[in-house]
């Protein structure tokens, strides 16, 4: 598995991709730094909803992950180098898991730093709140990565499909249609934040911490399984 992991790390570490990730990860931090200096700063509930819920977890984090995870397989499908891996005598899950792990490894520093610094500034150095936001964002990273790695195997337009998903589903429908919120990754990331620090995100519909953890694990396992199955059944270019 080490060979696939290190190969994928090299593939995903292009200079321009890292520059774009840095800019994206910096946006919530800059926004927060500006807002907390402003005497007309919004109430903390508004900040939680707009900056952390919508901007960080619902937009920036999935944007970073889609730019990385959707090409973990997508680029190899596109340039037909995937056969180098699938013609190896290793089970397909030993290709999927290192790809997923490499995607998480590349995205992790950006999302970790962004969530950590944003919440540290916003919640005035509140350790519990910072811890809750960071863990929730990282859980979101794992779920988004599982979904977008799978997407890279099912369509040659994974990046576009992923962007549509982020904008329409995570950003629009699940934000405004309460009945389908429970089908969005953002919802469970925020539920985890609320579960770890019950003082925060009280305006969100509540799901217990245990249920949020179970759903997060289930999403990761389900999409890793779907990716493995897809890799076994697809025509490899």
Partner 1 sequence: MSTNGSAAPAVGTPATGVAPSALSANAAASAVIRVEHVSRWFGSVVAVSDVTFDIGPGITGLLGPNGAGKTTLLRMMTGLAEVSDGTVTMFGEPVRDNPPLYRRVGVMSEHEAVYPFLKGRDFVRMMARLRGVEDPEAATEKAIGLVDLAAAAELPMGTYSRGMRQRMRLAGTLVHDPEVLILDEPLNGADPRQRVHFQALLKRLAGEGRTIVLSSHILEEVERIAQTVLLIVNGKLAASGGFRAIRAALDKRPYHVRVMADRPRELAAAVVRLDSVDAVNVDPDGALIVLSRKVRELQVELPRLAKEEGISLRRVEPLDDSLESVFGYLVER
Name which position in 86, 154, 159, 209 contacts partner 1 (CB under 8 A).
86
Site for partner 1 in 9-28 (CB under 8 A): 10-11
* Residue 222 CB, nearest approach to partner 1 (Å): 21
Interface with partner 1 by CB under 8 A: which range of 7-15, 51-59, 190-198, 218-226? 7-15
Interface with partner 1 by CB under 8 A: which range of 5-13, 128-136, 153-161, 170-178? 5-13
- Taking the C-alpha atoms of residue 212 and residue 113, their distance in angstroms, rounded to an integer, is 23
Question: Residue 7, exposed/middle/buried by CB under 10 A (0-12, 13-18, 19+)?
Answer: middle
Q: Which is nearest to 58 in space by CA: 199, 188, 223?
A: 188
* Residue 232 CB, nearest approach to partner 1 (Å): 5
* Residue 83 CB, nearest approach to partner 1 (Å): 5
Count of residues touching partner 1 (by CB under 8 A):
24
Question: Residue 96, exposed/middle/buried by CB under 10 A (0-12, 13-18, 19+)?
Answer: buried
- Taking the C-alpha atoms of residue 161 and residue 66, their distance in angstroms, rounded to an integer, is 10
- Taking the C-alpha atoms of residue 162 and residue 77, their distance in angstroms, rounded to an integer, is 16
Whichever of 53 and 98 has its CB closer to partner 1, that residue is 98
Interface with partner 1 by CB under 8 A: which range of 38-46, 52-60, 62-70, 87-95? 87-95
* Residue 79 CB, nearest approach to partner 1 (Å): 4
Helix (H) or strand (E) holding 160: helix 158-164
- Taking the C-alpha atoms of residue 125 and residue 119, their distance in angstroms, rounded to an integer, is 8
Residue 156 contacts partner 1 per CB under 8 A: no
Reported residue count of the chain is 237
Residue 79 contacts partner 1 per CB under 8 A: yes
Which residues would be at the binding site for partner 1 (CB under 8 A)? Answer: 2-4, 7, 10-11, 79-81, 83-92, 232-233, 235-237
């Amino acid at each position: 598995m080490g060979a696939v992991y290190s190969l994928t790390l090299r593939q995903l570490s292009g200079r321009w991709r890292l520059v774009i990730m840095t800019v994206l990860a910096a946006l919530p931090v800059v926004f927060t730094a500006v807002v907390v200096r402003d005497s007309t700063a919004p109430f903390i509930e508004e900040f939680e909803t707009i900056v952390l819920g919508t901007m960080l977890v619902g937009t920036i984090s999935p944007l970073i992950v889609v730019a990385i995870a959707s090409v973990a397989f997508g680029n190899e499908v596109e340039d037909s180098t995937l056969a180098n891996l699938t013609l190896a005598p290793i089970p397909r899950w030993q290709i999927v898991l290192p790809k997923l792990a490499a995607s998480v490894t590349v995205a992790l520093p950006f999302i970790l730093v962004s969530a950590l610094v944003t919440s540290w500034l916003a919640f005035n150095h509140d350790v519990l709140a910072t811890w809750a936001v960071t863990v929730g964002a990282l859980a979101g990273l794992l779920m988004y990565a599982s979904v977008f790695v799978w997407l890279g195997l099912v369509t040659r337009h994974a990046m576009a499909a992923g962007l549509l998903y982020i904008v329409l589903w995570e950003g629009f429908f699940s934000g405004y249609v309460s009945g389908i919120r429970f089908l969005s990754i953002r919802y469970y990331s925020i539920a985890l934040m609320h579960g770890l620090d019950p003082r925060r995100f009280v305006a969100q519909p509540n799901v217990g911490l245990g249920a949020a953890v179970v759903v997060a694990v289930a999403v990761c396992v389900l999409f890793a399984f779907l990716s493995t199955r897809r890799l076994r059944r697809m025509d490899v270019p």
